């Protein structure tokens, strides 16, 4: 009884505390503000719909970047993997943290305005919210590292997708939860690491956690941002009897695993299409999953009508992929000589250019680091090299390893240089793929006997920021670091590129030459999505920092650069500006 009373008292306190700290004079975010952001703002996860990761701000330039100073920093929850993509709207930073926590900070000072903490922060009506920190009962896949990459802002709400397979709307003024909609059963392994994007008034979100065999496959949904009502749902796997359903041999639906949609997509208001990509099939190797076909729609770009979820076209990069070479990453939309294009790079380090109006292939540039397949530059057709299709129990030496050269560390584009800046990790692996159990609950990626080896062309380095010309695919410059480039890239109109490495460096590069013009040392690995924004006439550059990343930030440094160490905690964000 006493306990109950105390609970009520605490809940009340929380509500009043929430009510005090809030965003004053909040201006609702319109569709137009998302489509054409104010130069000061960063309202989409890659700022603009085309996922350029580019800020038009020019206060910080190649001339003065050497004077950058820390303006403020903020410690984030150390309860999981930190891969944040913060947003900024009207001088407020909305910062996603591990395990569903979202904080609103004064973007000039770092002062906390509100925080949403699942299970602690109540709903707008005062009722309790669901905790998003533990493993759901009966889970057979788990929420992993609690990663929450991106969130979305629209109207007067912040939207996130949770580690327990729900989508949440939080009042952008107060942090109180407005609605939560469950989209799948987390006990079956479903969870989110990527948040929604907003297109044509619809919240579009892609789910992950589809590695284990279960009834049901991965999907992308459209939700009504006001009510949380599901408007449509499109499967990322072609099922028997559907178009493309015969590309998984004759596997029944429950054994068609993978095609997770774990990275947020892009949108083009001209074509009216959302571009979302999918991951590889599971288990990873054909021999292990027992299907020789293309396995649609794995490792594909899907062009979806945001109103209906209709699949307007798809392009499959790696039909029947068989080494865990994921192509799910960001879709960068650039018009090249009048041709509306979509650029993508997956783990293999092949830069794909396709026509985003039609899905037609344009060209492919292999950066030349992989040894698994040959790609025809002008048709996009892939051919596995002799002996490189894994057989069960037979070791192959492959570059990259299953960690990939490219990963969620999004590349950035600068319209000034017409160059893509791509965070790369060098790695190879002696890999022997092995069996899984073909039963419900079984499956997964399949086991791999894995020996990490350095990449022969890397000069002992694990990291590279690679600048590629979008027309020719030629290397403009490359800058190598001993440890992995561990963040997305950020470009600014000041002629700069920002990124950071595992060994706690943050770098400002000259976008034209690759020269390092400024660097700083951070508490642990730079990790996440750096952004730039302006408040009160001053430009800021924010760099998320943290641990708990992917294999290239855990096992690769451990095995290949053992002389380097980093703290295994220290999730935080560090914000820089020019001196007064």
Partner 1 sequence: MRTRLRRVTLSLLLSATACGGASAPEVTSPGPAAAPDASFSVWDGVYAAAQAGRGVAQYAEACSSCHAEDLRGNSNAPSLVGVSFLFVWEGRSLEELFTTIRTRMPTNAPNSLPVSSYLDIVAYILERNGYPAGSSEMEADPAVLSRIAIIAREGGA
* Residue 430 touches ligand HEC, criterion: CB under 6 A: no
Nearer of residues 258 and 494 to ligand HEC, judged by Cβ: 258
Q: What are 407's two structure tokens? A: 């990963």
Tell me how far, at minimum, the Cβ of 214 lies from partner 1, in Å.
Answer: 12
* Residue 14 touches ligand HEC, criterion: CB under 6 A: no
Among 46, 47, 117, 145, which residue interacts with ligand HEC (rule: CB under 6 A)?
145
* Residue 479 touches ligand HEC, criterion: CB under 6 A: no
* Residue 305 touches partner 1, criterion: CB under 8 A: no
Among 28, 66, 126, 142, which residue interacts with partner 1 (rule: CB under 8 A)?
142
* Residue 61 touches partner 1, criterion: CB under 8 A: no
Q: Is 320 left (phi over 0), alpha (psi -120 to 50) or beta?
A: left
519, 446 contact by CB (below 8 A): no
**H and E: helices and strands count for the chain:** 4, 41
Nearer of residues 393 and 415 to ligand HEC, judged by Cβ: 393
In the stretch 50-69, what mask flags binding to ligand HEC with x, by CB under 6 A? --------------------
150, 161 contact by CB (below 8 A): no
* Residue 554 touches ligand HEC, criterion: CB under 6 A: yes
Tell me how far, at minimum, the Cβ of 449 lies from ligand HEC, in Å.
Answer: 8
440, 188 contact by CB (below 8 A): no
For residues 11 and 7, what is the distance between their CA atoms, to the nearest angstrom? Answer: 6
Tell me how far, at minimum, the Cβ of 552 lies from ligand HEC, in Å.
Answer: 11
Q: Choosing among ligand HEC, partner 1, none, which partner's interface includes residue 463 (Cβ < 5 to 8 Å by kind)?
A: none
* Residue 109 touches partner 1, criterion: CB under 8 A: no
Q: Is 291 left (phi over 0), alpha (psi -120 to 50) or beta?
A: beta
Nearer of residues 15 and 555 to partner 1, judged by Cβ: 555
Strand 572-577 to 69-75 pairing: antiparallel
For residues 229 and 233, what is the distance between their CA atoms, to the nearest angstrom? Answer: 11
Strand 490-492 to 54-55 pairing: parallel
Tell me how far, at minimum, the Cβ of 197 lies from partner 1, in Å.
Answer: 22
Tell me how far, at minimum, the Cβ of 297 lies from partner 1, in Å.
Answer: 18
Q: What are 471's two structure tokens? A: 């027309």
Strand partners, 222: 204, 232
Residue 440 burial (CB count, 10 A) = 14
* Residue 562 touches partner 1, criterion: CB under 8 A: no
Among 53, 209, 309, 463, which residue interacts with partner 1 (rule: CB under 8 A)?
209
In the stretch 490-529, what mask flags binding to partner 1 with x, by CB under 8 A? ----------------------------------------
Question: Which pairs with CB-CB distance under 8 Å and at least 24 residues apart come from 500-503?
Answer: 500/525, 500/526, 500/527, 500/530, 500/543, 500/545, 501/463, 501/525, 501/526, 502/462, 502/463, 502/526, 502/553, 502/557, 502/564, 502/566, 503/564, 503/566
Q: How far is CA 313 from the centre of its chain?
A: 22
Tell me how far, at minimum, the Cβ of 209 lies from partner 1, in Å.
Answer: 7
Tell me how far, at minimum, the Cβ of 144 lies from partner 1, in Å.
Answer: 6
Strand partners, 234: 220
Q: Choosing among partner 1, ligand HEC, none, which partner's interface includes residue 143 (Cβ < 5 to 8 Å by kind)?
A: partner 1
* Residue 566 touches ligand HEC, criterion: CB under 6 A: no
- Interface contacts to partner 1, rule CB under 8 A: 81, 135, 138-146, 189, 208-209, 211-212, 260, 282, 393, 434-437, 441-442, 444-449, 547-548, 550-551, 554-555, 558, 568
Residues in the site for ligand HEC, rule: CB under 6 A? Answer: 145, 551, 554-555
């Amino acid at each position: 009884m006493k306990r109950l009373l105390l609970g009520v008292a605490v809940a009340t306190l929380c509500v009043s505390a929430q009510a005090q700290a809030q965003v004053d004079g909040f201006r609702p975010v319109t569709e137009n503000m998302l489509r054409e952001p104010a130069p000061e703002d960063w309202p989409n996860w890659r700022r603009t719909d085309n996922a350029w990761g580019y800020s038009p701000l020019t206060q910080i330039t190649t001339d003065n970047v050497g004077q950058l100073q820390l303006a403020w920093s903020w410690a984030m929850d150390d309860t999981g993997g930190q891969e944040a993509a913060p947003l900024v709207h009207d001088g407020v930073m909305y910062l996603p943290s591990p395990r569903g926590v979202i904080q609103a900070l004064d973007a000039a000072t770092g002062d906390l305005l509100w925080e949403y903490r699942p299970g602690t922060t109540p709903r707008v009506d005062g009722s309790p919210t669901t905790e998003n920190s533990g493993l759901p009962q009966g889970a057979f896949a788990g929420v992993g590292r609690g990663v929450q990459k991106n969130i979305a802002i629209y109207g007067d709400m912040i939207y996130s997708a949770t580690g327990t397979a729900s989508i949440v709307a939080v009042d952008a003024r107060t942090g109180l939860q407005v609605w939560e909609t469950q989209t799948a059963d987390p006990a079956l392994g479903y969870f989110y690491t990527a948040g929604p994007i907003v297109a044509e008034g619809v919240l579009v979100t892609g789910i992950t956690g589809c590695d284990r065999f279960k009834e049901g496959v991965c999907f992308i949904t459209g939700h009504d941002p006001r009510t949380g009502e599901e408007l449509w749902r499109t499967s990322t796997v072609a099922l028997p009897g559907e178009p493309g359903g015969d590309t998984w041999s004759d596997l029944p639906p429950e054994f068609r695993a993978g095609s997770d949609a774990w990275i947020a997509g892009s949108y083009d208001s001209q074509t009216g299409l959302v571009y979302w990509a999918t991951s590889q099939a599971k288990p990873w190797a054909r021999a292990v999953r027992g299907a020789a076909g293309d396995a649609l729609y794995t490792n594909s770009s899907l062009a979806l009508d945001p109103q209906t979820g209709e699949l307007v076209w798809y392009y499959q990069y790696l039909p029947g992929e068989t080494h865990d070479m994921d192509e799910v990453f960001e879709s960068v939309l650039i018009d090249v000589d009048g041709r509306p294009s979509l650029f993508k790079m997956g783990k293999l380090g092949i830069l794909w250019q396709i026509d985003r109006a039609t899905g037609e292939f344009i060209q492919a540039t292999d950066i030349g680091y992989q040894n698994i397949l040959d790609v025809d530059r002008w048709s996009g057709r892939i051919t596995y090299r002799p002996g490189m299709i894994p057989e069960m129990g037979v070791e192959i030496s492959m570059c990259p390893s299953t960690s990939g050269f490219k990963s969620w560390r999004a590349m950035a584009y600068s319209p000034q240089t017409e160059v893509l800046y791509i965070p790369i990790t060098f790695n190879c692996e002696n890999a022997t793929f092995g069996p899984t159990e073909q039963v419900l609950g079984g499956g997964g990626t399949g086991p791999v006997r894995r020996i990490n080896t350095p990449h022969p062309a890397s000069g002992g380095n694990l990291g590279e920021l690679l600048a590629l010309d979008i027309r020719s695919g030629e290397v403009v410059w490359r800058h190598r670091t001993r440890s992995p480039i561990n963040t997305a890239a950020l470009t600014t109109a000041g002629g700069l590129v920002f990124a950071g490495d595992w060994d706690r460096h943050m770098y400002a590069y000259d976008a034209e030459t690759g020269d390092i013009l400024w660097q700083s040392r951070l508490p642990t690995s730079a990790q996440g999505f750096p952004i730039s924004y302006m408040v009160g006439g001053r430009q800021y550059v924010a760099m998320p920092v943290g641990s708990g990343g992917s294999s290239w930030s855990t096992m690769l440094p451990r095995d290949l650069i053992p002389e380097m160490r980093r703290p295994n905690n220290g999730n935080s964000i560090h914000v820089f500006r020019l001196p007064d």
